[in-house]
Amino acid sequence: MTEPGIRGKTAIIGVGQSPYYKRGKSPDPAFVLTLRAILNACADAGIDPRAIDGFASFSMDRNDPLRMSAALGLRELRFNSMVWGGGGGGGSAAIAGAAAAVHGGLAETVVVFRGLAQGAMRFGGAPPAQYLGGNFAFMAAYGVISPAQQYAAKVIRFMHDHGVRQAALRAIALTSYAHAQNNPNAVMYGRPLDAETYDASRWIAEPFHLYDCCLESDGAAAVIITSAERARHLTERPAYILGAAQGAGYRTDAGSFNGPDFASSHFASLAPRLYAMAGVTPKDVDVVQSYENFTGGVLMSLVEHGFFTAEEANDFLTPDNLNAMGGKLPLNTSGGNIAEAYIHGMSLIVEAARQIRGQSPNQVRDAKVSMVTSGPMAAPVSNCILGAEETL
Partner 1 sequence: MTKAATTYLPDALPVPASDGDGLQAPFWSGLEREELLIQRCRHCRTWVFAPEWICHQCHSFDLDWTAVEPTGVIYSWTRVWHPVTPAIAEHMPYLVGVIELPQAGNVRLIGNLLGDPAKAVEIGARVRGVFEHHPAAADNPARKAFTLLQWTPA
Q: Which residues bind partner 1 (CB under 8 A)?
A: 126-127, 129-146, 148-149, 152-154, 156-157, 160, 202-207, 251, 254-258, 262-263
The torsion angle over the Cα atoms of residues 375, 377, 381 and 382, rounded to 10 degrees, is: 60
Shortest distance, CB of residue 148 to partner 1, whole angstroms?
A: 7
Alpha-carbon distance of 365 to 180, in angstroms, equals: 18
**Known active-site residue 151:** no
Nearer to partner 1, 186 or 204 (CB): 204
With beta carbons less than 8 A apart as the criterion, state whether 135 and 256 touch: yes
Shortest distance, CB of residue 293 to partner 1, whole angstroms?
A: 15
Nearer to partner 1, 207 or 336 (CB): 207
Alpha-carbon distance of 194 to 177, in angstroms, equals: 9
Q: Is the dihedral of CA 103, 348, 273, 386 positive or negative?
A: positive
Shortest distance, CB of residue 377 to partner 1, whole angstroms?
A: 13
Spacing of C-alpha 351 from chain mean position: 9
With beta carbons less than 8 A apart as the criterion, state whether 278 and 387 touch: yes
Q: Give the length of the chain.
A: 392
Q: Which of 328, 326, 351 is nearest to 282 (CA)?
A: 328
Nearer to partner 1, 207 or 376 (CB): 207
3-class SS at 333?
coil
Nearer to partner 1, 296 or 336 (CB): 296
Name 39's Cβ contacts closer than 8 Å, sequence gap at least 6.
16, 49
Shortest distance, CB of residue 228 to partner 1, whole angstroms?
A: 41
Alpha-carbon distance of 357 to 363, in angstroms, equals: 10
What distances in angstroms separate CA 154 from CA 99, 166, 260, 376, 392, one per listed residue? 32, 14, 11, 11, 38
Nearer to partner 1, 146 or 235 (CB): 146
Nearer to partner 1, 37 or 148 (CB): 148
Shortest distance, CB of residue 294 to partner 1, whole angstroms?
A: 11
What distances in angstroms separate CA 252 from CA 93, 117, 263, 302, one per listed residue? 17, 31, 10, 18
Shortest distance, CB of residue 227 to partner 1, whole angstroms?
A: 41
With beta carbons less than 8 A apart as the criterion, state whether 387 and 96 touch: no
Nearer to partner 1, 38 or 205 (CB): 205
Alpha-carbon distance of 91 to 113, in angstroms, equals: 9
**Active-site position among 177, 189, 240, 342:** 342
Shortest distance, CB of residue 39 to partner 1, whole angstroms?
A: 37
The residues that are catalytic are 291, 342
